[in-house]
Amino acid sequence: MEISDSATNLLSQAQEALGQWLHIPGWIVLPALILLVAFIIDLALYFTLNRMERRLRDSPRRWDDPILHGLRLPLRWWVWITALMVDLGIIGAHFEIERLTTVFSRLGALITLLLVAWGGIRLFRRLEQRLVFPPVNCHAKPVDPTSASALTKIVGAVLIVTLLLIGLQILGVSMSSILAMGGFGGLVIGFAARDVIANFFGGMVVHLDKPFVVGDWIRSPERQIEGIVEDIGWRLTTVRTFAGPPLYVPNAWFSQISVETPTRMVSRRLWETIGIRYQDIGKIENITGDIRDLLQQHEEINQDELITVNFVTYGQYSLDIMIYAFTHETDWQRFHEIKQTILLKIRDIIDRHGARLALPASRLYLPEGLDREDGERDGTQLDRERKSGDSGDGAPRSSRGKRQPSRAPGPADDSQEEGDA
């Protein structure tokens, strides 16, 4: 109050002195003079801060550029708003509107808090960029995007809550009343927003434990989640699916499901089963040996991991050979290119040994004494009978499709064929 009274007395004295000197009412001259001073200060800040920001972009320190970036615009706005509040207060005092001065004083304080919050947000956003992408001359190591985002969000939340409490105190709300109502109010809010709170703490756990970070490929078979992490917020995590659409996952889910992070794999598994025909069973041992040598000599196969090439089972139509190894390459596209090369070389090995890949097939065994030509002849005769039955006018429908019982050929058939010949 003493500072406010001193400022009011100083403005009153300046108003009277200007009025006597210029012979113009002081309540008109002083506001105009204050606006002129605000314009000069704003112009000086514009050129000075812009030049300093351009120079500090090449600074080896991470803090210089973000601090200046956060203060530049809010400070210029604060100069103009302060000048306007003071002018309105002078005009209100001249017309003896005492309440107007009090209102504008509180309004100016609240606007100042908003400008501080705006400057803090600008500061934290630029600082997050500098943490992830430090200046060229900076010797500090880059911070991963997830940690940088978590740090700036936590500090920003603390700043917003602090400014909110100060704003309530400026409006005349007692802090003791807020603390007294905090217990019951917290219980009600916690019950109503339990899902939001669960997501908030889930996001905090993700930020601290770091099971995945922005840019990782994650998947969860329990919830059919798979894609690239684009953002980890306090309530949702944005995952860009491979089909294209984004998937928004509540953070509370990550404390209830298992999540795989294929991006962090150190090697990728190659696991295939090759089927060989039963006729080539004598060549299985040589084929598996050559395939094993191929994998052991291949530069893309990780020799520190398990390499297995074995004949494992008699399949329904094939002799199955299991191929199990790991590649150094973990990239999905590059892995499949390597896999294609290996499978084609395995095909060449099988061909070189005179074997063939097995295909699903069935073998038909005919009764003794019945050869394929008799079966084909009976089938042709049956087709003719069906066609003649369909085209005949007086043929009964019950006789269509009936087949005469066949019998095994004997001496009489042989003599008949000789007579026909």
- 92-126 pLDDT per residue, tens: 776 666 677 777 778 888 999 999 999 999 988 88
CA distance 255 to 248: 16
230 contact partners, CB below 8 Å, separation of at least 6: 214, 238, 239, 240, 246
Helix (H, G, I), strand (E, B) or coil at 276: strand
pLDDT digits (tens, 9 = 90+) for 277-289: 999 999 999 999 9
Q: What is the DSSP letter of 217?
A: E
- Give the pLDDT band (50/70/90) at residue 360: confident
Which three-class secondary structure state does DSSP give residue 166? Answer: helix
Q: Do the domains spanning 195-263 and 265-352 agree at the CATH topology level? A: no
CB 202 within 8 A of CB 251: yes
With vertex at residue 283, the alpha carbon angle to CA 280 and CA 285, rounded to the nearest 5 degrees, is 135
Predicted confidence at residue 367, as pLDDT, reads 73
**pLDDT by residue (tens digit) across 128-140?**
888 888 777 777 7
What is the third-level CATH fold of 195-263? SH3 type barrels. (2.30.30)
The Cα–Cα gap between 286 and 308 comes to 15
- The residue among 114, 31, 120, 30 whose CA lies nearest residue 78 is 114
| pTM of the predicted protein model | 0.54
Strand partners, 286: none
- Split at pLDDT 50, 70, 90, the class of 181 is low
87-95: list long-range contacts, CB under 8 Å, 24+ apart: 87/31, 87/34, 87/35, 90/11, 90/15, 90/27, 90/30, 90/31, 90/34, 91/27, 91/31, 93/8, 93/12, 93/27, 94/27
Q: Residue 420 pLDDT more than 70?
A: no
Q: Which pair of tokens denotes residue 269? A: 């598994």
Locus of tokens 């105009």: 32
Which pair of tokens denotes residue 207?
């930020």
Parse the chain into domains and list their residue ranges: 2-172, 195-263, 265-352
At the top level of CATH, the class of 265-352 is: alpha beta
Strand runs labelled E in 197-240: 217-220, 225-232, 236-240
